Structure 1
């Protein structure tokens, strides 16, 4: 993950546990920007490249989502829960993420944290819950125009791709395959989504229109294909 095309964020356990490091795109020595015993996991850069969102697991006072500047100076504890997979809105005013709200077989829901007018963020009690379903909801990602969120839900028996409006309303199911469909990503113009489907066994990369039409298979091999990106 790159901020302003200058820094690459990555995870390394070279110091005994998973920590976040930055590496210049030109090379050189990596800089460690987290230094806690719990494991840290890279999440997403803010659109302006000024903040890196990451998740931390561990004790109650440490776990949740955190924000940090690339220089490693400013640190913000954004959420206080079993939270991961943060994704910034295009305008940098919101972060959508996944929270473990119950058992692992049906306790993942999507939440929203918003930045206030004074530049601070909502506290944990003010977070907006976008999904509330017995089945897991995961992998939220903003559309380029910031009006729609694509996500994965198991509410219909297996993993399918849905969209919803930024406030969680009007969920729309885009895929109807008997196999799992995962990892949605938007095209830069927002008119298409790429995703991973297990319709033919191993994961293959598919593409579809942003309302689920014209689904087509892009890769055809016996290996696992995953993590699409535009």
Structure 2
């Protein structure tokens, strides 16, 4: 009898332990693997279309079959902003859509204006973009505009001229100022406290701020062709990262700030490359593609 009693107690203890263990596993935060998704433009079908891909090339998804360019992820990764061309390419308009290509919305409608280079505010509530057009004297005007992410409350940031805006984590805007030549500047969202960060005669464009807000990657023509550079947020410590005879464009930071992806013509065709933030370990990851934008995706994979 004693033996049977001890056996029953042992079984009960084992079942209790298993129950507690299973409950613990279900309630505990178990780390999940993570991958990184890249959105980019490609002419694989003969038209400019938007695709998603991981950096290993294991997964590729066509997000839309509509022409679209210059992608920007929303902070939550659920939406894109991009521009689309109308009126035989005379009108460019800002759009948003879900990252799976659904719920496409046209947000701007200014005829014969080139609305481009959208960027989301850190809280996802605002979109800033560039507007370019020729005035009545046939001179190019390049302006910065801001609106709610649904297209409402559209207004010009009147004191700022240029393009390629990008938000810092604290809500300021970096962009390329423009007056015949372009240089990188930073300002408050209302256009106040404007500071010029680069001081070269060459064109310098497409600034993107690192996730920690401490550095800016950008492209510069100061060496006779477009190369990728990086500098501190105050413009100090400018460093050239790429060095070849072909153009390198559109740098985009990895979510942890350790790497950059960018477009290049170094293989004779537009492709997307990856490198460490010091310019080392360069390799091609996507062929026939340009304008990459990088976002971290949860659960280790891309989903449609």
Taking structure 1 as the reference length, what is the TM-score of the superposition? 0.79
| Structure 2 residue 73 is matched with structure 1 residue 20 | no
| Structure 2 residue 191 is matched with structure 1 residue 122 | yes
For residues 36 and 192 of structure 1, do their structure 2 counterparts lie closer, same or farther at Cα, with a shift above 3 Å needed? same
**Post-superposition offset of 1:202:** 1.5
Q: Which residue of 2 aligns with 1:202?
A: 269
Return the structure number with greater relative CO, CA threshold 8 A, min gap 6: 2
Structure number with bigger Rg = 2
Inter-partner Cα distance in structure 1 for 2:292 and 2:85: 25
* Maintained 8 Å contact 1:63/1:80: no
Q: Which residue of 1 aligns with 2:175?
A: 97
- 2:114 maps to which of 23, 34, 39: 39
**Post-superposition offset of 1:181:** 1.7
**Structure 1 unaligned runs (5+)?**
116-120
Q: Which residue of 2 aligns with 1:225?
A: 289
**Structure 2 unaligned runs (5+)?**
1-71, 295-304
Greater strand content? 2
* Maintained 8 Å contact 2:120/2:128: yes
Greater helix content? 2
Q: How does 1:43-192 map to 2 (within 5 A)?
A: 43-58=118-133, 59=135, 63-80=142-159, 82-91=161-170, 93-102=171-180, 107-115=181-189, 121-123=190-192, 126-192=193-259
For residues 159 and 23 of structure 1, do their structure 2 counterparts lie closer, same or farther at Cα, with a shift above 3 Å needed? closer
Inter-partner Cα distance in structure 2 for 1:18 and 1:225: 21
Taking structure 2 as the reference length, what is the TM-score of the superposition? 0.61
Aligned length: 213
Inter-partner Cα distance in structure 2 for 1:70 and 1:229: 19
* Maintained 8 Å contact 2:252/2:260: yes
**Post-superposition offset of 1:13:** 5.1
Inter-partner Cα distance in structure 2 for 1:152 and 1:182: 6
**Post-superposition offset of 1:131:** 1.1
Q: Secondary structure at the match of 1:66?
A: strand
**Post-superposition offset of 1:147:** 0.2
